[in-house]
């Protein structure tokens, strides 16, 4: 069975050096051992990454520039240059290993017009399969009206946007004071990114752009398990704007998920019940998660053969137009 992993990070030393200390690990109090593990694997493609893929049966990684990525470049000029450099760099890696790697574009959302142009270049000229953006950009979210042409372009190109956590924090959360364990993947990233996706949903982005697809990692950043509550609370609100459908109807159609970083057969079974196997794709979150654990959890999940094939490769092949 083919296995395609959709949320797999890489770094570029030249870009990492521009923001020393500002990495995907940020202020998270990780162990030195884990920090070394990640730092060794992020810039590597062939010495460690490909052999590990072979060892655990991962056929293809869809690569994206590690967080905070271009969202750390808070001047538009800097962001435009960095995104183009990152995408050209990744295109060379994919060209050297076209059956093992595919790419998601990094985008300079600081300049919406330039981000739209870079998306068109990355998909049309470089052959990328969509784009990945690390949450907000300088506190501006993707429901801002300036991004309407960007959403139109996503529809025109028929490629997805992967919304990933890890941008520099837009504000300080007092709930994390004295509790650094809550920062990042344990809690704040999921809440922030899931909230961003809900902003898009409630603002009507998917009513105005019904063919747009947003991907959320980490088993959907909590959303698949909150659908009934989204609907019941929406029915009590009078926000001055209405949606074409119930909030839950957008999750599993416009909003798709990957299982990155959630190595839980039980959670995967719940997500299938909540939104359906057609809306779920395999991912590891390499190198922040371990390939062996991710593939083992997926192999032991209580899935039908048909659903396992959809999640392992079929949905990604269809959405990203990857050759089966």
Token readout for 9 is 């990070």
Residues 301 and 169: their CA atoms lie apart, in Å, by: 34
Is the peptide bond between 287 and the residue preceding it cis, with omega within 30 degrees of 0?
yes
Residues 236 and 83: their CA atoms lie apart, in Å, by: 43
Sign of CA dihedral 43, 184, 312, 91: negative
| Phi and psi, residue 64, nearest 5° | -145, 145
Nearest Cα residue to 123 out of 155, 163, 164: 155
Q: Which of the 8 DSSP states describes residue 312?
A: I
Paired with 214 in beta bridges are 161, 255
Residues 113 and 76: their CA atoms lie apart, in Å, by: 11
285 noted as active-site residue: yes
- For 81-109, b/e burial (b = at least 16 CB within 10 A) is ebbbbbbebbbebbeebeebbbbbbbbbb
- Catalytic residue, from 73, 111, 285, 307: name it: 285
Q: Are 223 and 194 in contact (CB under 8 A)?
A: yes
Q: Cα 68 from chain centroid?
A: 12
Q: Are 268 and 225 in contact (CB under 8 A)?
A: no
**Which parts of the chain fold into alpha helices (H)?**
13-16, 32-41, 49-56, 76-96, 112-124, 148-157, 188-202, 205-208, 218-221, 227-234, 265-275, 291-299, 305-309, 315-320
Q: Distance between terminal CA atoms of the chain? A: 11
Q: Are 72 and 45 in contact (CB under 8 A)?
A: no
**Could you give the residue numbers annotated as active site?**
285
């Amino acid at each position: 069975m083919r296995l395609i992993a959709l949320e797999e990070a890489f770094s570029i030393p030249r870009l990492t050096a521009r923001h020393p200390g500002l990495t995907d690990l940020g202020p998270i109090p990780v162990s030195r051992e884990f920090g070394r593990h990640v730092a060794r694997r992020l810039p590597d493609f062939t010495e460690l990454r490909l052999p590990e893929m072979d060892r655990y049966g991962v056929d293809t990684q869809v690569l994206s520039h590690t967080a905070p990525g271009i969202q750390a470049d808070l001047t538009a000029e800097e962001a435009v240059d960095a995104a183009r450099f990152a995408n050209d760099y990744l295109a060379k890696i994919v060209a050297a290993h076209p059956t093992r790697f595919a790419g998601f574009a990094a985008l300079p959302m600081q300049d919406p017009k330039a981000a739209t142009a870079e998306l068109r270049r990355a998909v049309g000229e470089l052959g990328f399969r969509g784009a990945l953006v690390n949450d907000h950009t300088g506190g501006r979210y993707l429901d801002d009206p300036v991004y309407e042409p960007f959403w139109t372009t996503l529809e025109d190109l028929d490629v997805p946007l992967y919304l990933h956590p890890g941008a520099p924090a837009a504000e300080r959360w007092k709930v994390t004071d004295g509790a650094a364990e809550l920062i990042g993947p344990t809690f704040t990233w999921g809440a922030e990114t899931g909230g961003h996706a809900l902003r898009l949903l409630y603002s009507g982005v998917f009513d105005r752009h019904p063919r747009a697809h947003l991907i959320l990692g980490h088993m959907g950043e909590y959303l698949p398990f909150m659908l009934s509550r989204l609907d019941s609370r929406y029915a009590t609100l009078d926000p001055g704007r209405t949606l074409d459908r119930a909030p839950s109807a957008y999750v599993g159609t416009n909003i798709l998920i990957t299982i990155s970083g959630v190595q839980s057969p039980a959670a995967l079974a719940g997500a299938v019940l909540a939104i359906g196997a057609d809306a779920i794709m395999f991912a590891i979150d390499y190198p922040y998660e371990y390939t062996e654990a991710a593939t083992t959890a997926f192999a032991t999940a209580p899935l039908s053969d048909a659903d396992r094939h959809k999640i392992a490769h079929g949905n990604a092949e269809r959405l990203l137009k990857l050759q089966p």
